[in-house]
Amino acid sequence: MSEKKPGHFQILKGFPADVVAVSAKGRIGREAYEKQLIPLIEERLAHEGKVNVLYEIGPEFEGFTAGGAWDDTKFGLSHLADFARLAVVTDVEWIRLGMKMFAPFMGGRMRVFALDELDKARDWVMPKTPDEVSA
């Protein structure tokens, strides 16, 4: 029996420096947060101030380990005011509902998009005009 490869975050290309765009692949554990996502976001925050985040949880997502779920919650709560915009792109219903529940506590704006709205989420997380920034 072969051991499964641990889950990871794929960094999505084509975004400006103030946008962190990732796609969750496999079963996301503590290591994926501590070695990939947390350092990436903290580095961007240090250089950009607030950042916009696009977080895709698509068909290759297999769930969270207990440690991954804890790191996700802990990191999200400790950085609520650091995200100007957070776009969560998923069809996983419990994640969609959970994100909507935490939206009022965020310092910035948060929207949940369905997987077939990835282009819409990409446009929303990268506003082009001052009017779009406030929308």
Helix (H) or strand (E) holding 133: helix 130-134
* Residue 134 included in any domain: no
3 falls within a domain: no
Query: Can you state the angle between helices 38-48 and 66-78, rounded to 10 degrees?
Result: 10
Tell me the percentage of the chain whose pLDDT exceeds 90: 67
At 36, which CATH number? 3.30.750.24
Instruction: Answer whether residue 9 shows pLDDT above 60.
Output: yes
Arithmetic mean of pLDDT, 50-65: 94
pLDDT surpassing 60 at residue 131: no
Rounded-to-integer distance, Cα 45 and Cα 99, Å:
21
Question: Considering the domain boundaries, does residue 131 fall inside one?
Answer: no
Residue 135 forms part of a structural domain: no
Is the pLDDT higher at 106 or at 62?
62
pLDDT of residue 40: 95
Q: Has residue 64 been placed in a domain?
A: yes
For the chain, how many structural domains are there in total? 1
Read off the amino acid at residue 112: V
- The answer to whether residue 40 sits within a structural domain is yes
pTM for this prediction: 0.88
